[in-house]
Copies of this chain bind each other. A is one copy, B any other.
């Protein structure tokens, strides 16, 4: 597409919650461990395939992990009981 949009993601939080290293997550997904780093830093966006695999891995909808709009912190969402 024309201008590549920044896609916000909750990967660092989700990974932290489960105490996973990038290497461990990468292996579970079948990608290079550096790829996880690229994604977390926002160097580039995942392919749809990888996004679907991540969603399946974390058992969350894609939209809960990736969004065109900035995320509300999960801690705040949990406290208020409201989603985005």
For the complex, would chain A's binding face be called helix, strand, loop or mixed by DSSP majority? mixed
Task: Chain B residues near A51: list those with CB within 8 A.
Answer: 48, 51, 62
* Cβ-neighbour of A1 out of B4, B30, B55, B62 (below 8 A): B30
Identical copies of this chain, number: 2
- Contact present for A68 and B47 (CB under 8 Å): no
- Contact present for B61 and A63 (CB under 8 Å): yes
- Contact present for B68 and A49 (CB under 8 Å): yes
Task: Chain B residues near A63: list those with CB within 8 A.
Answer: 52, 55, 61-62
Task: Please give me the residue from chain B that is nearest to A55 by CB atom.
Answer: B63
Residues of A near any B CB (own CB < 8 A) = 1-2, 4-5, 7, 30-31, 45-53, 55-56, 61-63, 66-68
